[in-house]
Chain A
């Protein structure tokens, strides 16, 4: 029995111990949890709340130490000077309240100004930012040439320091912009300009990130003295070949310095040269005494170097190596960009041109000098789609910001303007997609969705209605005059939101009851100036994305209006209209010519009857230089040509003509409404002059020809008219 009892006791005991053990395990788990809760007390933000209300018992003096924001800003302004300049400490925003105006100091007699600097100055003088009044200026530009600050250079100007110090408004460089392409010299190529920059902003090529004052300085590309003033060479890409049928994968041809700063990378290039698809050529020949430093590979390298032509390589390669030279940037960068040869950058520490706004990863391969040996495998790993995108982006950037001195300088100014008016500035989408920042005025809107260019990128559609803007220069004579018919026809369109009549006629405004009654609101605006250009003024009443611009004598049916508007929705960035015109190069007189004859192609659509985006009104009024607008106003002609030039310059595309040619313009003329400007014999000659004036302004001919027009799908098809949606278009 005892044994049994003992067995029982021991068994029970064992069971109990087991239970305790299990319980113990659970306790262990619970014990871990409180530890976590415990943590919450130590949350790191514990003290973050009491910032300006310090606990008095601990820091009795803190209240005094915590200076007021205004004082703190003043202290900052004093500390962060010169090398540590930023917009908020070294730039006087109050000078810019009346707008972003740039003043150029008058040149002094005997000033030697290099060709490149002369171009920079003339671009600024012609730009819409220029002012001749220093008291209104927000930004000052020196008349003395600071582009080349290499002491060994022939262009080096000696007395810059004293010249600058003597400027009455220098003010330690505040609100000044200094352009520079070369600085420092052999052997160490420091970024010293040879005078104190002070608080002036630098627009400088080949800047090192460490010397670069972010959001204050601007990195510009190195450009040659042959770089065109305006217009500029086109990108070489004409075909989107996939895969690129280019002979070489990666090329480089350039000097090798053998010793000194920046020589390592180029000296090592031969490691990845394979003589087949990777052609990296260097020569040791440069300067007078290169043979002193000559190394064992020089002779062989020089021989190989002579075998290939640089241009040939550039045009036949997918990637172009852009290694640093003595300085960080090189001409090669822009050359590769123009040639649609994707730059492979090997220049550690180079602040890339306009890096503040341009996303270079979309157009270049940013390599690391230390990883030269990886370059072949990196370039080979880029897939077809990416190459296609990179190459197109090189062309877009080249054309938008780099192809001429004007574009480089204007981009610099626009970047500064964006900083000055930071809440009315372009975002990165605007800078990095077509048509580029220079054609996108943030004063119109900072919202990309209201521009005609970004609908696809944002997944949006233009608004489903339009505003008809009728330009009137003759008085309203009777209830049967063409304009009344036009108003009635347009108002009947289901897409018409409102009709705006611009009363540009000298006669007094007719009373309200003289106008036809319409189902949509009709607004009459009496122009202040009554000039030709005022028909494109961005009136606040226009709220729809689309504008239907009309002359008073245009003849349109509701069907035609509807159809053209539907077409415009597919091409919101272009002009979509009815009567078309063409241009051609008159080689006998070597100038551009205008024609209104029946031709197989066209390059302009008259704005007497055309749809376009309302942004173009804004661009026309504020982007086009005043001199051209006055010219248009003086002649009371060519405003439609100018609009076509502008839109084609922005889009690089032809306008779109819809439906068959009608004879209305011509018939209107013969009917002899005397006021019609079309009857004027000078009219045609003026238009020729305009063509040439406008293309001179842009520096190139933006108009593009098209050989097609758009008709309704069933136009003139042999099917019952009842099936057709746009029946009126069939009738002439």
Chain B
């Protein structure tokens, strides 16, 4: 803007000496130029100002623009960190409040340059690129708030990632000068390289009152469990080098050591291991013939032979990560990135994010003393497990190590989980790589319970207007000993159900629910009237099932309460010609679905069907007036990972799927429609969840040469 300023100051000096004609010309020219300037200026700055209204960016608060703050010598120094601090003693939880999103709000202090009395900055680096990335990531996340009064957590803009570049006393004074410091309450500091020579403390030496520390390299004595967060030491190679993910499997080397600053005692120990085991071990060191600098960080040597680092890490199954003077090593990040299983030898080291990550699935931790036994220990791990660990290691890097953003947001998520523990991420969410998340199932009914027989089951009959058939079904079902209640879902809005006196008299309560719309999904609505765990869905024309068969079905359901237990079975097949799924109702040796025209299931699935059915499946079913049973089979198989159970031999069902009209052509369109359903549902679920089995359940003594009257369920399979 200084250009326009200069211009306008010159303008008035010229104008008085000119004629009006000229003056008009100059005024017009001047205004045109001015307009042009304003327009370009606007164009230049407009988009920036939109972005930066809410966001914390370096552009806006670059180091040079940041206000200078001079620290008086006498300004207060915070106390050293209190080892007994925990969330309930040193953290003000009232600032976080109860909110429906269960998300903490994080405030970042504006950038300031702190200097001491004589003008020397408190840090030799100012704001490092890494810390800037971290702050930008937080400001772009939904944790961020620019309203200091709403914040639960405060992050100073003072970079303490590397203690070596700090003047400790002055940094501490600077922290204490922060406007909301308040004894460090709810403040979060990020530090990756703590301590300094000669004793290399395992936590940041800067006195910091009660501030939380996200530190890389905690030992068990400095780490305040449940308060501090152990973070990785970020490796700059993560951003610089792209290592494509390699298929897990055996590698050229068995063990690789690539760290350069290994204590000579350890190196001697490693050399000894190499002598014993030869080629399986590769022991690299820094290259003596290369000049120092950036290039040397990317090379490693063994007896004059040069290897590219970190690429060489991908050539080994296990990679040694030994402690240095510090416990936390950036090499861990490189090793994980390469999909090499880290062998961690750092006694008392708190592994990064160990509060949530299960390191036993991705690494091998060996006490330093047992370095000499490393080879034998690693050899005892089976190949399959090594492959699993390689995959897991790579996933940890991708999700939690790969960038300052990943590190920062993981830290905040961990703190968030502590403040809202009832809404925290689960072990599976933290530890399962995407491929496992996709293929694994955690059944909602995982406890192996065989529910008691006594509560019985509720039969839910969906009906429209076939009263005669309905009454027959009711009479038949009422003979089943374990029937607890009968619920008729009256799906016909144009006609009232028959008068109460006309209904068959049965021993158990009979309830009729009238629906608002004639929809198939009404069958699976979680009616309050259903009080038992077991539900028997049954069509109003299924009269051929005997009481023994139904009772037996209920007994089988009790043994498998997390499955659909039904009578007519169906199968899905892959049609190679058409390249899509096909529905099969013929006599097959396999079953992957049971029809819900007669099936027992847990009432929780009603709730899932009504409220948690993925995509538009529910509306598709209602629109097509078909396939509600296939949808239910998909839902249950997807969430439990288990096949349904078909009970008792096949009977001559009056083809329960094809309703009133018979005929081959209708049958065929029906099959086409059902096949379409399968394809549609498989695409919504993104996978084919149905499981194929070759068994059905029969009573133990079915068809055995044994007196019928002594059998529990004699009347099974009669046609």
Contacts and interface: CB of A to CB of B under 8 A. Distances in A.
Given A371-B98, A447-B384, A348 B64 contact: no
A381 B422 CA distance: 9
A601 B441 contact: no
A428 B700 contact: no
Q: For this complex, into which size category does the number of interface residues on chain B fall?
A: 35 or more
B455 interface: yes
Contacts of A153: none
Contact of A382 (B126, B127, B422, B552): B422
Interface in B169-198: 192-193, 197-198
Contact of A434 (B7, B127, B326, B448): B448
Contacts of B366: 422-423
A684 interface: no
A567 B451 contact: no
A365 B220 contact: no
A374 B99 CA distance: 10
Interface stretch (B72-80, B138-146, B602-610): B602-610
A73 B368 contact: yes
Given A51-B261, A52-B262, A366-B421, A707 B555 contact: yes
A446 interface: yes
B89 A47 contact: no
Interface in A358-374: 359, 361-362, 365-366, 368-371, 374
Interface string B19-40: 0001001100110010011001
A724 B451 contact: no
A396 B604 CA distance: 20
B142 to A, nearest CB: 19
B695 A713 contact: yes
A536 interface: no
Given A69-B266, A370-B93, A371-B93, A598 B422 contact: no
B128 A42 contact: yes
Interface in B400-453: 421-422, 424, 426-428, 431, 435-436, 438-452
Given A42-B128, A86-B220, A712 B695 contact: yes
A428 B358 contact: yes
A693 B427 CA distance: 40
Contacts of A39: 127-129, 132
Interface string B619-651: 000000000000000000000011100110110
A238 interface: yes
Contacts of B94: 370
Interface string A565-593: 01100100000000010000000000000
A88 B452 contact: no
Interface in A102-159: none
B3 A21 contact: yes
B701 interface: yes
Contact of A715 (B59, B236, B698): B698
Interface in A70-114: 70, 73, 76, 80, 84, 86, 88, 93
Given A69-B265, A242-B607, A713 B588 contact: yes
B695 A54 contact: no
Given A86-B221, A457-B440, A47 B696 contact: no
B589 A725 contact: yes
Contact of B702 (A349, A580, A709, A713): A709
Residue of B426, B694, B717 with most chain A CB atoms under a 10 A cut-off? B694
Interface stretch (B157-165, B539-547, B670-678): B157-165
Interface string B532-560: 01000000000000000000100110010
Nearest to A457: B440
A59 to B, nearest CB: 6
Interface in B261-307: 261-266, 297
A69 B330 CA distance: 20
A570 B695 contact: yes
Contacts of A458: 436, 440
A598 B431 CA distance: 49
Contact of B695 (A59, A362, A395, A567): A567
Contacts of B159: 44
A377 B98 contact: yes
Interface in A32-73: 32, 35-36, 39-40, 42-54, 59, 61-62, 65-66, 68-70, 73
A384 interface: yes
Contacts of B449: 237-240
Given A68-B265, A242-B607, A423-B364, A429 B388 contact: no
A209 B698 contact: no
Residue of B422, B604, B691 with most chain A CB atoms under a 10 A cut-off? B422
A446 B607 contact: no
B466 interface: no
A450 B198 CA distance: 47
A11 B4 CA distance: 16
B365 A423 contact: yes
B482 to A, nearest CB: 13
Contacts of B67: none
Given A43-B130, A240-B449, A240-B561, A446 B694 contact: no
Contact of A449 (B59, B164, B297, B385): B385
A459 B433 CA distance: 11
A653 B98 contact: no
Given A449-B385, A600-B699, A660-B704, A45 B236 contact: yes
A683 B381 CA distance: 43
B691 to A, nearest CB: 8
Interface stretch (A12-20, A407-415, A548-556, A620-628): A12-20
Contacts of A369: 88
A681 interface: no
A392 B447 contact: yes
B684 interface: no
B444 A388 contact: yes
Contacts of A10: 26, 29
A716 B649 CA distance: 8
B221 A80 contact: yes
Given A45-B236, A86-B220, A714-B587, A425 B360 contact: yes
B183 to A, nearest CB: 17
A365 B422 contact: yes
Nearest to B437: A459
B695 A46 contact: no
A674 interface: no
B696 A446 contact: no
Contacts of B63: 35
B233 interface: yes
B221 A84 contact: yes
Contact of A711 (B86, B452, B698): B698
A495 interface: no
Contacts of B40: 21-22, 25
Interface in B660-699: 691, 693-699
Nearest to A602: B700
B455 A239 contact: yes
B128 A240 contact: no
B694 A18 contact: no
* List of 4 A-B pairs having minimum Cβ-Cβ separation, nearest first: A459-B439, A44-B162, A51-B324, A42-B125
Interface of A: 3, 7, 10-11, 14, 17-18, 20-22, 24-25, 32, 35-36, 39-40, 42-54, 59, 61-62, 65-66, 68-70, 73, 76, 80, 84, 86, 88, 93, 209-210, 214-215, 237-242, 245, 348-349, 359, 361-362, 365-366, 368-371, 374, 377-378, 381-382, 384-385, 388-389, 392, 395-396, 422-423, 425-429, 432-434, 445-447, 449-450, 456-460, 563, 566-567, 570, 580, 598-602, 651-654, 657-658, 660-661, 704, 706-719, 723-726
13 contacts: A21-B3, A39-B127, A42-B124, A52-B261, A52-B262, A69-B263, A445-B385, A458-B440, A713-B589, A713-B694, A715-B649, A718-B719, A725-B589
Given A392-B447, A423-B364, 11 more contacts: A43-B129, A45-B192, A54-B197, A93-B367, A239-B455, A426-B360, A429-B431, A449-B384, A457-B441, A708-B697, A709-B697
